Structure 1
């Protein structure tokens, strides 16, 4: 899996389940494989610094396949309870099998040096001295992402350690109970999970493969972060001027989780949802997610959809850097760069403008991102308000019972405060 991520930019969470199934690895072995694979992806920056110190040469001078073995070994030494002797021996044996005795000796030497210090001692020895840089190193984040979190936390930037630590921890699986099919209480009883804190449809699972659960297989429930559930719910709760005519739109629908929840809620009142996704393969994922629901999928660019204006409620869950969901995408933090932001902000503004043109007077648009990064969140919204004269609703009112959402009128969820992905939400009503 590490090789797939390194060589072809594969997504760890898409590759690993298939590998486990192919090799019939289950139970505790599957849990260990998952911990090692995701962990080695997630902590790459820290691991690479320790490997460079142990090897006495830059990472760029170490062959990629050998680097995979070293990262796996150092991760076990510094971040698991696996004994040092076992971690070194299995890594050396793997290197010997793959590359021969010479390379195995190199792996042995590097890992023995890595094992001479604890993780805390390596952080003390190698971390930058500035506070943000040190925390970024300790919790295996690029410095620019740690700084983005600190900026988004604002006056509460003292929470940065907690925010990065939550991002570095293994997240619980969140399920969504499909309204009209099963309640969260029933889903929790069937799956052995625990009802969620914030969404009336959320259930938390500690472990296991959710794809094997009967309610998920039968389409009565799905896998969806509670923060994403709250985004869809906020759109349905926002006060309109005038009656709800039952025309809803999800302008950035792929892969379909929010469209499915909106569709299930729309079905209760006899409403319909249009779901837009430009890529055919992702549109097919949306179709599967919304099967049997009053949702029409359109394969088109949301910036020029050709849809008829007059929607009562529009969700713009815009493509973004995904910095708020890094805990669920272990390799993503090392793949994104600051250069990605400008292009995404342009796309976000264009989608928001297109959605505004499709919204009826008195209708509500909900803008969301799975990123707390200020250029993608409050800056995009402030620009839209300035250009359109939109009425900004206090989005915090649309998340009843959820505390600590920021100063308003926008709302910001955080893993360390809410146990959700770091979703940003802003509700705008058309005069």
Structure 2
């Protein structure tokens, strides 16, 4: 429905049950298989910490209870504020099915974290979410029990600690002691257990853990890649299939998926010049989209161009597929454009800016009323009519007549597997059972879009997923069912000349590791 930086979709798929509790927790003071509790629980190295203030309890420290008592009052253990902010964000993601990109800014703001502190908390949050699958396998081995049997607060704290030990430059003693401090705050009875598990994790580096736990590449390449690069096996298999079975390229894609996604801006045509915008924000013009600006860093929401409606945040791949529809050759009238799945308005913003230059008008359809309001807000001042209705009502809704529109965009709801760089938690929530209802909806929306197009009109089908059942299968089935002749337009010819790795056509699949974009799929159809 929207581009990769625009939508937060996902169900509770692959989510571990947070009600599961530890049934055989190691006792802090005794117990078999207990490691030395003295290590890593003493005074912390006060030189350590990205922008860390002091050892006293800080704003945002919210221990669950317990701890020492002095003078009849509980004394809260010191908790490093960036780590506690990351813990709060992780807990919200796993407990409440929240999205990190939505919850983390509020957590940072409430904790008063900025600059290096905020950057460190952000790295811990997103890095841990990306690596959860591999971290859980390691923690299961180190703890001697399935990670699902560990209390949720302890589990999230251990994930943060293991990520620091295996994927950051944090000194091991600091990673262990700070995590034990965190466990003391959120689950006081589990400090010895946490210390023992983390000391076990610290005994090997990340590569050694993968060598210990992953299946052999020769005998089980999908299983090996899944554990080595922290993706569910079914997603690795889907990526490999979409890449023609090339495991080397699949590996490069998985590695790219685990790197933070860059921030791209869209300079709206007629409202902002991309070169001037790049100069103003300290960025650089995009490699492919004529409207793209690569942002070097900082908070894009603070940029005047965004506040003034002259630009918006949008992955370059999303810009390319929207512009491809607008630029495709068309015979006959060209004043009525339709965005059938518009919320929250990123692609609509680009389309409507282009429409304004050409004397066209966009009808933007969004089924959810709150998202329809976001579309209206995102396109204020542009030639757009927003309808809060189901896009499948083409023909039955007088506002959506059949054979009426010259250009139609169907940016259908999908699994979002193409934007896992930006939605790290989505890889663990999605599951294969999500595909049948999604692909049915995709087919219905594309059939509606084809019905809405006039004879000779163009329809672009877009998903932010490379899964073949959401791409080629959906397009083929919808074209067969629409009841009118349909021809494919070679989408490669609608993208910038010289753009590499576009395949054999007529559809196009963009890739993070090939193009630096999210994995957007584009098919362009001409109704006969």
The interval holding the TM-score normalised by the smaller chain is over 0.9
1:428 aligns with 2:525: yes
**Residue in 2 aligned with 1:368?**
462
SS of 1:374's equivalent in the other structure is coil
2:166 to 74, 78, 89: 78
CA drift at 1:118? 0.5
String of CA shifts for 1:369-396, please: whole Å, max 9, x gaps. 0000000001111123333431001111
**Residue in 2 aligned with 1:320?**
414
**Residue in 1 aligned with 2:157?**
69
Q: 1:58/1:156 Cα in 2 relative to 1: closer, same or farther (>3 Å)?
A: closer
**Residue in 2 aligned with 1:136?**
226
1:95 aligns with 2:188: no
**Residue in 2 aligned with 1:104?**
191
**Residue in 2 aligned with 1:398?**
494
Q: Is the 8 Å Cα contact of residues 151 and 157 (structure 1) preserved in structure 2?
A: no
String of CA shifts for 1:106-144, please: whole Å, max 9, x gaps. 111111100101100011111122112111211110000
1:415 aligns with 2:508: no
Q: Distance in 2 between matches of 1:132 and 1:405?
A: 25
1:124 aligns with 2:211: yes
Q: Distance in 2 between matches of 1:167 and 1:353?
A: 32
Q: Is the 8 Å Cα contact of residues 395 and 409 (structure 1) preserved in structure 2?
A: yes
String of CA shifts for 1:331-380, please: whole Å, max 9, x gaps. 00000000000110000000011111110000000001000000000111
CA drift at 1:244? 3.3
**Residue in 2 aligned with 1:290?**
379
1:11 to 91, 95, 99: 99
String of CA shifts for 1:269-289, please: whole Å, max 9, x gaps. 111000000001111111111
User: More displaced, 382-391 or 78-87?
Assistant: 382-391
Which structure has more relative contact order (CA 8 Å, sep 6+)? It is 2
**Residue in 2 aligned with 1:58?**
146
Q: Distance in 1 between matches of 2:392 and 2:112?
A: 44
**Residue in 2 aligned with 1:308?**
401
The alignment yields a C-alpha RMSD, in angstroms, of: 1.1
2:361 to 257, 272, 276: 272
After superposition, residues 376-395 of structure 1 pair within 5 angstroms as 376-387=470-481, 388-395=484-491
CA drift at 1:245? 2.7
CA drift at 1:22? 2.2
1:25 aligns with 2:113: yes
Count of residues paired in the alignment: 429
**Residue in 2 aligned with 1:170?**
260
Q: Is the 8 Å Cα contact of residues 226 and 233 (structure 2) preserved in structure 1?
A: yes
Q: Is the 8 Å Cα contact of residues 282 and 296 (structure 2) preserved in structure 1?
A: no
SS of 1:371's equivalent in the other structure is coil
1:238 to 323, 328, 331: 328
Q: Is the 8 Å Cα contact of residues 193 and 205 (structure 1) preserved in structure 2?
A: yes
Q: Distance in 2 between matches of 1:385 and 1:281?
A: 31
SS of 1:15's equivalent in the other structure is helix
**Residue in 1 aligned with 2:84?**
none
CA drift at 1:155? 5.4
Q: Distance in 1 between matches of 2:143 and 2:521?
A: 42
**Residue in 2 aligned with 1:113?**
200
1:331 aligns with 2:419: no
When Rg is computed on C-alpha atoms for both structures, the one with the higher figure is 2
CA drift at 1:157? 4.2
Q: Distance in 1 between matches of 2:125 and 2:235?
A: 22
After superposition, residues 328-367 of structure 1 pair within 5 angstroms as 328-367=422-461
SS of 1:182's equivalent in the other structure is coil
Q: Is the 8 Å Cα contact of residues 153 and 187 (structure 2) preserved in structure 1?
A: no
String of CA shifts for 1:284-320, please: whole Å, max 9, x gaps. 1111111111011100001114212310000000000
Where do 5+ consecutive residues of structure 2 fail to align? Answer: 1-88
**Residue in 2 aligned with 1:207?**
297
**Residue in 2 aligned with 1:248?**
337
**What is the TM-score with the length of structure 2 in the denominator?**
0.80
CA drift at 1:179? 1.0
> Greater helix share, 1 or 2?
1
SS of 2:385's equivalent in the other structure is strand
Q: Distance in 1 between matches of 2:178 and 2:434?
A: 38
**Residue in 1 aligned with 2:288?**
198
Q: Is the 8 Å Cα contact of residues 385 and 392 (structure 1) preserved in structure 2?
A: no
Q: 1:211/1:364 Cα in 2 relative to 1: closer, same or farther (>3 Å)?
A: same
**Runs of 4+ displaced beyond 4 Å:** none
